[in-house]
Chain A
């Protein structure tokens, strides 16, 4: 583990930051060769590398600042850093098994190291989510009801208990506000089928009807 992120991912601009920050990088290399290193501590070099990676590679699908315009790819702007770290490691370890995770992210995260993952997560956490236009107000209202109060008859708990009152995420639970509705629906389906293996969400998704899912997804997409 040296100053150069060991991720074999897209080799964007390793040279340019290196030459620009050569003295700093050399110092860092010296420092990092010492035994005691905090694995998740990101240096300037890693941050710059992660920034270029996020914009130049991840951004092809997720949007340069994490505001993807295509519903196949989740919006990452403003996402909870803890959650992003967990997910990127799960992709790398091939532990998250929903279809798009397998076909896209297992490869993309295959050689990411912990420092780069932390820097990527920090980058997205600090990006500003761009609000999505509201659409079906009746559907959104129904979704808001489920999000805030759950569905007692079906044993579905309120979503806001974990995802926060404004759906901005709490602790390790992801931000869902302004997420593409189609992406949310696909994840709920993956929880339901257990392809994405999350015990809590599996139980909840099994209790939700398709129309409930659509309402919650519409509500979440409309949240700022």
Chain B
């Protein structure tokens, strides 16, 4: 568990991938461009001494991932968000099945999300049911800008999409995570457009819409929609690492998000392996608003707010009982493997002396 000035902060990293971008898996030039684009983002927002090589970045595997998340106790739990990209990658880039490799090994530590693509029609609905039967889904990650044959994407507010959202509601899959952020090859189509979230969120008040990457570079449209739709949340993947080299800008963005959405509707995510929580959690926990920003926005980014963003808000959406988890993690396999018992020892008894 991450410790901030003597206080425990339970961290749920709400945006994780276990991907394979090895050359053998790439079947379209878009696949190579995609991983290189990711790598550009990685190097731009990672401290120099923490940067990976492109080769490491292509495929890191479950063991390394586990060590990165839990090795220095930065993360307590994680949520997998699949990204299929099957037109670009032979076996898919980061599928639910890939993610299951690690999630099934440590079910107490991970939430495994599924996905759907309304362009798959009946077959897609069946696949969603299969995933739900297999993994008892609580959420889906959606990639509306994904290429599929001649199609360059789809809209969340389309009739076909609504059929799938209805199916989610019926199956009890409550958390919908549309990716609205950086992508490659939007051509003239505006892949960042968040307007389709508005209608979907109004039509499905029983579902939660976590807009990943807070719509960057459409933060303005996103905040305005979220201010009016109480079931719209912001996923901080991509925004969070701005705290590294652009702390002032990070503060401004957090100021806007807290002003428009409040502290209960923001979720931390590293976007691993785009960025690594083993340093990112620390950077975000130490980020501050300037006095000027606090005055301008009338909000605080204090410890209570950060605890919500780093874990409590995600726990609320995914029915995670943090106190029960702390007790469970006193002796689970991950704690044994990485010697984390001390981190959780204080949860049921007096804090351990370190």
Task: Verify that A and B bind, or say they do not.
Answer: no
The chain A residues found within 8 Å of chain B, CB to CB, are: none
The chain B residues found within 8 Å of chain A, CB to CB, are: none
